[in-house]
Amino acid sequence: MTDLVRCEWAGTDPLYVQYHDEEWGIPAHDDRHLFEMLCLEGAQAGLAWITILRKRENYRRAFDNFDAALIAAYGDEKIAALLDDPGIVRNRLKVNAFVRNARAFLAVQAEFSSFDAYIWRFVGGAPIVNAWQRLGEIPAQTAEAQAMSKDLKRRGFTFVGPTICYAYMQACGMVNDHVVDCFCRDRLGVR
Please say if 16 is a catalytic residue.
no
Tell me if 172 sits within 8 A of 28, measured CB to CB: yes
Q: Under 8 Å CB-to-CB from 99, ≥6 apart: which residues?
A: 71, 72, 74, 79
Rounded CA Rg of the chain? 17
- Each residue of 136-153: pLDDT tens digit? 999 999 999 999 999 999
What is the pLDDT confidence band of residue 191, given thresholds at 50, 70 and 90?
very low
Asked whether residue 171 is domain-assigned, the answer is yes
Catalytic annotation on 49? yes
User: What does 74-142 look like in DSSP terms, one character per residue?
Assistant: --HHHHHHHHT-TTS---HHHHHHHHHHHHHHHHHHHHHSSHHHHHGGGGTTS-EE---SSGGGS-S--
Establish if 27 belongs to a structural domain.
yes
What CATH code is carried by the domain that includes residue 97? 1.10.340.30
Q: Is 118 left (phi over 0), alpha (psi -120 to 50) or beta?
A: alpha
Give me the domain span that covers residue 67.
8-187
178 found inside a domain: yes
19 tagged catalytic:
yes
Q: What's the confidence (pLDDT) of residue 187? A: 73
Task: Please count the structural domains in the chain.
Answer: 1
Domain membership flag for residue 3: no
Asked whether residue 78 is assigned to any structural domain, the reply reads: yes
Dump pLDDT digits (tens) for 93-104.
999 999 999 999
pTM flag (> 0.75): yes
Q: Provide the pLDDT for residue 1.
A: 43
Give me the pLDDT at residue 2, please. 58
Q: Residue 1 domain-assigned?
A: no
Is 45 within the bounds of a domain? yes
CA–CA distance from 14 to each of 10, 50, 53 (Å)?
A: 9, 11, 11
Active-site option among 36, 41, 59, 144: 41
Residue 176: helix, strand or coil by DSSP?
Answer: strand
At 59 the three-state DSSP class reads helix
